[in-house]
């Protein structure tokens, strides 16, 4: 069971880090999706969203404490 917990946590952390990198780089398709959803472009929430994803990606720190 511990192996499954570690594997799922690592996959989730990697996905969050990847999404945070895309938000931080303000890639074109991320901006297009946010515009399509009605988020204004000048105040596009890429940086706050990237920060939240980076914080969620820090699940790996929880593994280190075990």
Q: Do 32 and 47 touch, CB atoms closer than 8 A?
A: no
Please name which of 66, 32, 65, 30 lies closest in space to residue 50, comparing C-alpha atoms.
30
Please name which of 4, 24, 21, 14 lies closest in space to residue 58, comparing C-alpha atoms.
14
The pLDDT assigned to 13 comes to 82
Please name which of 8, 4, 9 lies closest in space to residue 64, comparing C-alpha atoms.
9
The pLDDT assigned to 28 comes to 84
The pLDDT assigned to 16 comes to 80
What single-letter DSSP state applies at residue 41?
S
pTM above 0.85, yes or no: no
pLDDT tens for each residue of 5-60: 888 888 888 888 887 787 777 778 888 887 888 877 665 556 676 677 777 777 77
Q: How far from 59 is each of 12, 14, 15, CA to CA, in Å?
A: 8, 10, 11
């Amino acid at each position: 069971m511990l192996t499954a917990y570690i594997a799922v946590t690592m996959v989730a952390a990697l996905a969050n880090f990847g999404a945070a990198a895309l938000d931080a780089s303000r890639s074109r398709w991320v901006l297009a999706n946010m515009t399509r959803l009605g988020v204004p472009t000048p105040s596009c929430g890429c940086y706050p969203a990237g920060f939240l994803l980076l914080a969620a990606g820090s699940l790996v720190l929880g593994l280190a404490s075990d």
